[in-house]
Structure 1
Amino acid sequence: MNEPQILLVDDEKAILKLLQTVLAKEGYSQVDAVTSAEEAIEACRSTRYDLILLDVMLPGKSGFEAAPFIRESTDAPILFLTARSTDLDKLTGFAIGGDDYIVKPFNPLEVIARVKVHLRRANAQFIAQRVSPVSGQEQERREVYDFGYFIVDGTAKELTVNGVSVECPAQVFQLLLFLCRHPNRVFAKNELYERVWGESAINDDNTVMVHIHRIRERIERNPAQPEFLLTVRGLGYKLVQKGTLR
């Protein structure tokens, strides 16, 4: 991965300057800064960013309102910055496409640490998705999981639900594909995190839960009453097999 492109979105110029300074000290020089949600949406349409730090309380459209529009242009990690620290606010941020939630006032060193973690994950995902040339015989062995209502094509990296192609962010797709490869098996949250993200799950209890929610939004007829991706109380999650591997 080349030097990462980072977008800062905050209406407080002092915070923008602080973040630019600490990022520059860590070697991140490709940093853009804007002060409104509208500017952020336009910036993401014209520039490929690797990470976005997005304030929630912006003038006009809020960061929460802007996130779905930003997600139309990029799968880059979105880290919300906000003084709102309730569990409901955090879950809202995760549910609409956020990847992390940093509460103000924040320690700049914590922000840098989280930026590095998310950039490292994104880079690992990028490397994992690079596919070497294969022979014609290998190309015929497509990895396709048919669950009736939805189909996961691991070779083409595509999700089809009820006959319609559905957009699926890279890390959400990787978790879904992992579950497809191990149907009817119960996985604890920490095991899923370590197997899919390749890191220790210490101090990161929300990521798997958020991604499970995003999968259900895509593959379930009613995400509130899942029939495929089930919660096994006290143990974890399992994907119920309703089809076969092609």
Structure 2
Amino acid sequence: MTRVLVIEDDAIIGEMLTLYLTEEMFEVQRVETSREGKFALGSFNPDILLLDLMLPDASGTELCAEFRQLTAIPIIVISTKPSVTVRIQAISSGADDFLVKPFSMQELKVRMDAVLRRTNALSPAAAQPASAGTGTSAVASGPQQGLTLDLERRTIVLHGEHIETTFSEYEIMKLFYQHPNRVFSREELINAVRGIDSFINDRAIDVHVTNLRRKLEKNPKEPQYIKTVWGVGYKFMN
């Protein structure tokens, strides 16, 4: 059973979420503060997190960034703020999706299913067993010397160092890695990361690529791994 951690201090919304998701066969735990949420990450071990950005002991997109540092599971932000700026800031801070209150419970479930599909779907390459004796599921070799993917920890390994990423950043990098030199349009990256039924736009893709460059490139302004193909999208260099 999929475990959902709901961090929401509004009693009415929190109860609605708990009742609906329980009826949809999710195992749900709800807490009302960021402090309780951080504890529940370890004690409840959720598969997905629903995070309100306005909590009694913390607020703002920096809260999302803090939770992203603590967990690699999908995070869906739920907020009363409808502005595009807040959405982009939340996604840039590690959110995998964003819903504005009030929202349809059916839409919430569709979006949850979408991010969980992306998390659980293993590509044929990812499904291959690790090389004998390696003790890890990391890809043994890659298009760029010194860069591999650790499929078990869902991290990028650069020159032996594990680089932590958001869910979306990792999915984009996995796609690039498996298809070196192929040019991907922003629309293709949107569909690969999220599916057509979940919120993300061209600007969010650009933000994810910018964040990946900051983490991987010696000089993000002159990238060697992820190249921009002007007027089309991006490609990962072999």
Same fold (TM over 0.5): yes
Counterpart residue type for residue 153 of structure 1? T
Asked if structure 2 preserves the Cα contact closer than 8 Å seen for 1:85 and 1:103, the reply is: yes
TM-score (norm 1): 0.77
Q: What's 1:15 paired with? A: 13
Q: What's 1:25 paired with? A: 23
Structure 1 residue 58: deviation in Å?
Answer: 1.2
The C-alpha deviation readout for 1:72-95, integer Å capped at 9, x for no partner, is 332111111111111211111001
Q: What's 2:170 paired with? A: 173
Give the direction of change, closer, same or farther, for the CA distance of 1:128–1:73 in structure 2 (3 Å limit).
farther
Give percent identity, aligned residues only. 27
Comparing 175-184 with 87-96, greater Cα deviation is found at 175-184
Of 184, 187, 200, which residue of structure 2 is paired with 1:187? 184
Is 1:91 equivalent to 2:88 in the alignment? Answer: yes
Counterpart residue type for residue 8 of structure 2? D
Counterpart residue type for residue 75 of structure 1? A
Partner Cα separation in structure 1 for residue 155 and residue 100 of structure 2: 35
Give the direction of change, closer, same or farther, for the CA distance of 1:73–1:226 in structure 2 (3 Å limit).
same
Of 201, 207, 221, which residue of structure 2 is paired with 1:205? 201
Counterpart residue type for residue 152 of structure 1? L
Of 105, 109, 127, which residue of structure 1 is paired with 2:106? 109
Q: What's 2:223 paired with? A: 227
Partner Cα separation in structure 2 for residue 162 and residue 219 of structure 1: 10
Give the direction of change, closer, same or farther, for the CA distance of 1:187–1:130 in structure 2 (3 Å limit).
closer
Asked if structure 2 preserves the Cα contact closer than 8 Å seen for 1:51 and 1:76, the reply is: yes
Structure having the higher Rg = 1
Give the direction of change, closer, same or farther, for the CA distance of 1:47–1:90 in structure 2 (3 Å limit).
same
TM-score (norm 2): 0.80
Give the number of equivalent residue pairs. Answer: 230
Asked if structure 1 preserves the Cα contact closer than 8 Å seen for 2:61 and 2:93, the reply is: yes
SS in 1 for 2:82: coil
Structure 2 unpaired stretches of 5+: none
Structure 1 residue 210: deviation in Å?
Answer: 4.7
Of 66, 70, 74, which residue of structure 2 is paired with 1:69? 66
Partner Cα separation in structure 1 for residue 70 and residue 28 of structure 2: 18
Structure 1 residue 109: deviation in Å?
Answer: 1.7
SS in 2 for 1:54: strand
Q: What's 2:140 paired with? A: 142
Partner Cα separation in structure 2 for residue 31 and residue 117 of structure 1: 18
Partner Cα separation in structure 1 for residue 79 and residue 197 of structure 2: 24
SS in 1 for 2:58: coil
Please report the RMSD computed on the Cα atoms of aligned residues, expressed in angstroms.
Answer: 3.2
Asked if structure 1 preserves the Cα contact closer than 8 Å seen for 2:54 and 2:60, the reply is: yes
Asked if structure 2 preserves the Cα contact closer than 8 Å seen for 1:187 and 1:237, the reply is: yes
Structure 1 unpaired stretches of 5+: 242-246
Structure 1 residue 190: deviation in Å?
Answer: 2.3
Structure 1 residue 185: deviation in Å?
Answer: 3.5
Q: What's 1:244 paired with? A: none
Give the direction of change, closer, same or farther, for the CA distance of 1:36–1:95 in structure 2 (3 Å limit).
same
